[in-house]
Structure 1
Amino acid sequence: MPNRLINEKSPYLRQHAYNPVNWYPWSKEAFEKAKREDKPVFLSIGYSTCHWCHVMEKESFEDEEIADILNKHFISIKVDREERPDIDSIYMNVCMMMTGRGGWPLTVFLTPDKKPFYAGTYFPKESSYTRIGLKDLLLNIAELWQKDREKLINRADQIIHHLQDYGRVTEGKINPNIEHMLYEKLKDMFDPYYGGFGRKPKFPVPHNLLFLNRYHYKSKKQNAVEMVKHTLKSMRLGGIYDHVGFGFHRYSTDERWFLPHFEKMLYDQGMLLMAYAEGYFLTGENLFRETVDEIFQYLTREMLSLEGGFYSAEDADSEGEEGKFYVWSYEELKQIIKEDFRLFETIFNITLEGNYREEHTGKPTGKNILYMKKTVKELARELKISEEELKDKIENWRKRLFSERKKRVHPLKDTKILTDWNGLVIAGLSVASGIDKKYLKTARKAVDFILKNMKQSDGRLLHRYKDGVAEIDGFLSDYAYFIWGLIELYEKSFEEKYLIEAVNFTETVIKHFYDSKGGFFDTPDFGEELIVRPKESYDGAIPSANSVMVYNLFRLYRLTGNILYKNLAEKSLDCFSEKINSIPSGYSMMVLAHMWQTTPGRDIVITGERAEEITDRLIRKFAPFDTVIVKKNSQIDSISSHFKNIQPSKELKVYLCENFSCSSPLTDIREIEEKLIEKS
């Protein structure tokens, strides 16, 4: 018989619906039962495409012995971290405080009033010489709850005290040299051989690259863009990239970008669209332009719903084995490729024994991950064949492999649609539209989907859509990332409705999320009351919602002239300044936002029937501190006061404004090109 999770929309929760564990979703009912029966709570947090979550389920949650212990001594709660990032954020901070590390599955023990007293990540079922197993851990905690509960409750109170300390803000100022400090830190962390930052595991961290692009633009340091170029190239050639079906896997378990953790996340595709598009604008590298289009192909083929929103993720596992869908035996490849096999073998670095080795023993598995050591351009030169001929061969091989791979059992696809992650893809597609305007059509459809299905009648956003139902009050990330997407879409399409929506959602954020001490809470003031109200600022694999919101506010200030936006952004930077100054590499998106405070930029206002001739060229330029407004009518004046005196006209007129003071209009196309485009 299924447990209560069978009634949930989350694919992750439904995966556990037939476990013998008497699971509850996070609910008032579960905690009331814990109080009534005087039991501690066993909280397990994960997500549908998490490999180690699957392992723990098979080892423990499908096991009758473990289920009996849990059902007898605990109230067990399952949470999808992608549905409830607020809960995940709080208890992940607990885990980091207690163990110095985090990850998923996240395992936490709580009192019936939600206070944590023990936390960890993955636990095997049985104990070993090096670590405690889940069975012994459960029995130990059950015994402590009966015999020494005061010790557990005291520990829980101490943890709550530390959590409250962690969330406190301090008044201060960002170091005036913070941009240079971050650049120097990233330079120290940079891997000169394989690109990226730090050692294994390596995450793409696209916001580091976005910062370096802007630092290069501002400082003219060539090394900044060289780090970006090397990283983008290495990732695209490595095994972290799916050379057959396109799109990026979540991260690389080694420093070479060779061995991926095979799940594919929507947020990575959105952020990497931005990084590769900007890389192309700055360097002209065709490889980066091609990568943008291939990510787009992957997204529209695999992740786009018929309604226009994007699904969340694809699993690492299929048939119970991580990466099985993506790897190949030597003989399998030989049969598919046939006559050009020797060339294929050289280009994609496959071996007879398999280049994919067991993680712990290092023994070959007999399977191969496709990866490249050199670009097609470099290989063509070495092989003394034309680049076009080699490209044609590779595309022919890819199509054959793709056709063969389609016959395999596919990894699970998490088909819930999240507002925040869709916002990142909308932003990425909009930035990429400077390469090809076809990306705008898909971005518009995604925005239309969110506005139709995820926006309530009172203007508030919902977080998750699944099976025709939108639920869960929007978090700060939903508003921040979606506003980012709307701003990017406005500045590429110049349709006023997107900027108006961005402003309206920003007003909702200020009303319901702003902390008078500075910064924004992750949850709205009308949301569920948790043990603390989280306020994250650290930029992890993707930027924090606070970082993006500060970035949005500075941009909207320039687009609308609303001084409140600037003031709130500056106060937010002040409240996070101590953390930013101490670990700038953990706040690269926040420093990027700060650059809008310190970098002069032009506000360009265009009117006239020929405006598109100018905007089409502007969106192909990398000018990250400029804003562009096209006045087609007076509709935009309802949200943008400082350009009200510029009237729409049929004649092409371009106004260059700095500090809200505009020059006389330029009307001569040659002068416009010289001052606006050639000097950008």
Structure 2
Amino acid sequence: MSDTPVQSQSQPKHTNALAKEKSPYLLQHAHNPVNWLPWGDEAIAKAKAEDKPIFLSSGYSTCHWCHVMERESFENEEIAQVINEHFVPVKVDREERPDVDLTYMTYVQAATGGGGWPMSVFLTPDLKPFFGGTYFPAEDKGGRIGFKNLLGELNKAWKEDREKVLQSSTRSIAKLQEHLDAENEGLETQLEPVVQKAYDDLASNYDYHEGGFSGAPKFPRSSAITLLLRVQQAWANKEERKSEAEWAGEMSVRTLRAMANGGIWDHVGGGFHRYSVDSYWHIPHYEKMLYDQGQLLWAYAEGYLVTGSPFLADVARRIVGYAKRDLRHADGGFYSAEDADSFAKEGDDHKKEGSFYIWTAAEIDSILGKEDGSTFRYAYGARRDGNARPESDPHEELKGTNTLFRAYSAKKTAEFFKKTPEEVQAVLDRGLKTLFEARTKRPRPHLDDKIITAWNGLMISGLARAGAALGEPEFIQLGTQAAQFIHDQLCSEPGKGLHRSWRDGGRGPKAFAIDYACLIHSLLDLYQAGLDVKWLQWAAALQAEMDSLFLDKEKGGYFSVHTDMSHAVLRIKEDYDGAEPSPNSLAALNLTRLAAMLDDQVLAAQAKKILTVFGTTLKDSPSAVPMLVIAADFNERGKQQIVLAGDKSAPEFQALLKTVHSRLLPSAVILHVDGGEAQAWIGERNAALAEMKPVSGKPAAYVCQNYTCQAPVTEAAALEKLLG
């Protein structure tokens, strides 16, 4: 990525093959002096024909350290000459090709004990890795080999010790595959010990002072929060578990509040940054990712259902406001991310991390006026000398600037300035609005405008769940429009042949298991929020498509990459729920929900097989797979069906639906029978629903356990009693 402002660019000195690509990340490197090729047949054939190793560099367009390595090494003519002469350089957008990235990141993590981006891996022409790492400085620095010297060492090894390199790469891949296969040997587990260990592990890692489940760097672990809310529900009515249930809820809600009060939350514009570099949620890594917005929206919506807190509801609404304003394509799909780096002002020749988001005290006073500025700065922790602590900013890149966080409440601020809380709140609200307007005049961070199926699925889920929980039909409509965009634009034909990504009118590679899993999950959420049967129908069809492409029919579980994907050197079944849930965790949950909705025992058996395949992980490290634990929990407890019969536009029907949506029901599925085509379709698959209908002409709710139903009710108050 060149840091030169667009308006001052002349004809570029260099142009490589990436100029023909659509990926924003690849296009950022199109004018490097490195002769980059995209991943594919051409690059692999060139490596074989020229008998050169491949230098594979994987990253993404909003990755700060990717920008740094580009600036230091890939724009360096001397280093570029070495790369071009001795290697075949290949650039991969990890968001567009998660298959390639996952394969070689698995190697890097096994070889070095860590990972991250940019990922730098050297491969033999038959794609077996023989050396890997992440960011390398251009020159030797702090005991770390510089990239220039590393290239020399690896070129020497390739030319002088070829046999050893080839043997090492072959052995590495064989050992890795053996390890991966051994991890998935299978183990039957019992739910209660798994949930107990997940709770114990999360509780032992919980930060009592600041919330969250680690020290620095601290990530928003949405799936851990949603798991703990389910633990609270499951144990709340057990006398011997009451204190643990309360603490599970407390850990979740405290973390949600701490994040929203911290600098990881963009107080001015809404939306969450990627993670906090410190343990107190203050200084973030400033990029904003769609997958975080979607998952945190889900978590805040459920936090609201459990607590009724207007604060948590407001955060959820502001996440939606941010995504709608800054991440949404006009036709409904959502873009991928916004960069951490931007120009501090027009005309600068170098981008800096956080420039768009940080403020000096003088700026705040100038924009808001001295009196309001003083009040605002007190509440939001903005100091004259800047508020980044040394441990959060070791290189002093943020020196003298402020990342806003909620240092004091309106009440505490009012006490200090001898004003009323209402007066202070008015100053703060006005201040945020004024700073937002001022910030629009700054150069914006780069927007990665790829539309990725999996991440849109996570956002659609968040919108559907938040829309239902908060009574916001617009949110459900936004989710509906995004789903329709995926249906129309990211499929080879409408609804079939799913693709991973779309940009500027063109589809990217075929979808991966995670894309199917996230999209199916979102369609089930969208159905339960708005009760439009077409989303349930599409979810069922996509599940069949996913099974045909990724399912290990013999052992169970899903491979991340479909069977006809060329150039795969490892066959991986993912289970770790990291920044995104794993495809197997979500697939297990999808299958159990679909099985409950459609009374499909084949799907139920597939779900159980996944839980067995990853049984060792569930037993030993359940806090690493919280979404898989949620799936196991639903598989065991998801026996409740709530069936609403009647015209969904009727006010009486809406009152019943609102009652259902106003509580967290982690063990239930919600279904609609309308006496028409939708009921006929569901009834063909689930006979219990075929005869359900309104009572005396009034919309009715049937509450069932394994489709043994209590007498239907037509009043919201009666339904509340049945739901407990």
TM-score per shorter chain, which class?
Answer: over 0.9
SS of equivalent residue, structure 2 residue 558: coil
Residues 537-576 of structure 1: pairs in structure 2 closer than 5 A? 537-576=575-614
Aligned twin of 1:244: 268
CA distance in structure 2 between the partners assigned to 1:580 and 1:86 by the alignment = 24
CA distance in structure 1 between the partners assigned to 2:716 and 2:90 by the alignment = 65
- Distance apart, 1:383 and its partner CA: 6.2
Say whether residues 1:641 and 2:656 are aligned partners: no
Residue type of the alignment partner of 1:526: D
SS of equivalent residue, structure 2 residue 383: coil
Aligned twin of 2:516: 479
CA distance in structure 1 between the partners assigned to 2:111 and 2:412 by the alignment = 49
- Distance apart, 1:460 and its partner CA: 1.9
Aligned twin of 1:666: 713
SS of equivalent residue, structure 1 residue 365: coil
Is the 2:304–2:313 contact (alpha carbons within 8 Å) kept by the matching residues of 1?
A: yes
Say whether residues 1:330 and 2:361 are aligned partners: yes
SS of equivalent residue, structure 1 residue 122: coil
Gap change, CA 1:509 and 1:96, over 3 Å in 2: same
Say whether residues 1:582 and 2:629 are aligned partners: no
Gap change, CA 1:38 and 1:67, over 3 Å in 2: same
> Structure 1 stretch 411-420 or stretch 540-549: which is displaced more?
540-549
- Distance apart, 1:525 and its partner CA: 2.3
Cα deviation digits, residues 388-440 of structure 1 (max 9, x gap): 44333212101111111111111100001001100000000111012022211
Unaligned runs of 5+ in 1: none
CA distance in structure 1 between the partners assigned to 2:557 and 2:415 by the alignment = 53
Is the 2:642–2:703 contact (alpha carbons within 8 Å) kept by the matching residues of 1?
A: yes
CA distance in structure 2 between the partners assigned to 1:290 and 1:46 by the alignment = 34
Gap change, CA 1:376 and 1:219, over 3 Å in 2: farther
- Distance apart, 1:641 and its partner CA: 1.8
CA distance in structure 1 between the partners assigned to 2:704 and 2:418 by the alignment = 53
Gap change, CA 1:328 and 1:94, over 3 Å in 2: same
Aligned twin of 2:3: none
- Distance apart, 1:627 and its partner CA: 1.2
Aligned twin of 2:498: 461
Residue type of the alignment partner of 1:184: D
Aligned twin of 2:352: 321
Is the 1:539–1:587 contact (alpha carbons within 8 Å) kept by the matching residues of 2?
A: yes
Aligned twin of 1:283: 307
- Distance apart, 1:105 and its partner CA: 0.1
Say whether residues 1:55 and 2:68 are aligned partners: yes
Aligned twin of 1:498: 535
Is the 1:42–1:76 contact (alpha carbons within 8 Å) kept by the matching residues of 2?
A: yes
CA distance in structure 1 between the partners assigned to 2:269 and 2:519 by the alignment = 27
Match of 2:255 among 216, 231, 234: 231
Aligned twin of 2:152: 139
- TM-score, scaled to structure 1: 0.97
Aligned twin of 1:115: 128
CA distance in structure 2 between the partners assigned to 1:666 and 1:550 by the alignment = 32
Aligned twin of 1:354: 386
Residues 49-448 of structure 1: pairs in structure 2 closer than 5 A? 49-168=62-181, 169-176=184-191, 177-220=193-236, 221-319=245-343, 320-338=351-369, 339-356=371-388, 359-360=393-394, 365-376=399-410, 379=413, 387-433=421-467, 434-435=469-470, 436-448=472-484
SS of equivalent residue, structure 2 residue 500: strand
CA distance in structure 1 between the partners assigned to 2:131 and 2:455 by the alignment = 31
Aligned residues: 677
CA distance in structure 2 between the partners assigned to 1:99 and 1:562 by the alignment = 44
SS of equivalent residue, structure 1 residue 311: coil
Cα deviation digits, residues 475-516 of structure 1 (max 9, x gap): 111111111111111101011111111111011111211112
Residue type of the alignment partner of 1:541: A
SS of equivalent residue, structure 1 residue 368: coil
CA distance in structure 2 between the partners assigned to 1:647 and 1:660 by the alignment = 11
Aligned twin of 2:700: 653
Residues 28-39 of structure 1: pairs in structure 2 closer than 5 A? 28-39=41-52
Is the 1:494–1:630 contact (alpha carbons within 8 Å) kept by the matching residues of 2?
A: yes
Gap change, CA 1:390 and 1:277, over 3 Å in 2: farther
Is the 2:679–2:690 contact (alpha carbons within 8 Å) kept by the matching residues of 1?
A: no
Residue type of the alignment partner of 1:628: I
Is the 2:53–2:88 contact (alpha carbons within 8 Å) kept by the matching residues of 1?
A: yes
Match of 2:485 among 442, 449, 460: 449
- Distance apart, 1:441 and its partner CA: 1.2
Gap change, CA 1:395 and 1:378, over 3 Å in 2: same
- Distance apart, 1:138 and its partner CA: 0.4
Gap change, CA 1:594 and 1:384, over 3 Å in 2: farther
Cα deviation digits, residues 455-487 of structure 1 (max 9, x gap): 222712111110011121011111111111111
Cα deviation digits, residues 497-546 of structure 1 (max 9, x gap): 11111111011111211112111011222333411122211111221111
Cα deviation digits, residues 597-638 of structure 1 (max 9, x gap): 222542011212332220022111111111111101242443
Match of 1:625 among 650, 661, 667: 667
Alpha carbon RMSD of aligned pairs, Å?
1.7
- TM-score, scaled to structure 2: 0.91
Match of 1:616 among 658, 667, 675: 658
Residue type of the alignment partner of 1:581: K
CA distance in structure 2 between the partners assigned to 1:390 and 1:350 by the alignment = 16
CA distance in structure 2 between the partners assigned to 1:357 and 1:363 by the alignment = 11
Gap change, CA 1:142 and 1:430, over 3 Å in 2: same
- Distance apart, 1:351 and its partner CA: 1.2
Gap change, CA 1:378 and 1:363, over 3 Å in 2: same
> Structure 1 stretch 501-510 or stretch 68-77: which is displaced more?
501-510
Gap change, CA 1:414 and 1:147, over 3 Å in 2: same
> Structure 1 stretch 15-24 or stretch 639-648: which is displaced more?
639-648
Unaligned runs of 5+ in 2: 1-13, 237-244, 344-350
Gap change, CA 1:361 and 1:108, over 3 Å in 2: closer
Residue type of the alignment partner of 2:603: Y
Gap change, CA 1:376 and 1:505, over 3 Å in 2: farther
> Structure 1 stretch 564-573 or stretch 457-466: which is displaced more?
457-466
Gap change, CA 1:377 and 1:208, over 3 Å in 2: farther
Gap change, CA 1:636 and 1:258, over 3 Å in 2: same
CA distance in structure 1 between the partners assigned to 2:718 and 2:398 by the alignment = 64
Residue type of the alignment partner of 1:206: S
> Structure 1 stretch 634-643 or stretch 487-496: which is displaced more?
634-643
Residue type of the alignment partner of 2:562: P
Is the 1:559–1:627 contact (alpha carbons within 8 Å) kept by the matching residues of 2?
A: yes
> Structure 1 stretch 36-45 or stretch 123-132: which is displaced more?
123-132
- Distance apart, 1:265 and its partner CA: 0.2
Residue type of the alignment partner of 2:615: S
SS of equivalent residue, structure 1 residue 472: coil
- Distance apart, 1:175 and its partner CA: 4.3
- Distance apart, 1:385 and its partner CA: 5.1
- Distance apart, 1:645 and its partner CA: 3.1
SS of equivalent residue, structure 1 residue 460: strand
Is the 1:642–1:660 contact (alpha carbons within 8 Å) kept by the matching residues of 2?
A: no
CA distance in structure 2 between the partners assigned to 1:386 and 1:470 by the alignment = 56
Is the 1:325–1:410 contact (alpha carbons within 8 Å) kept by the matching residues of 2?
A: yes
Is the 1:266–1:312 contact (alpha carbons within 8 Å) kept by the matching residues of 2?
A: yes
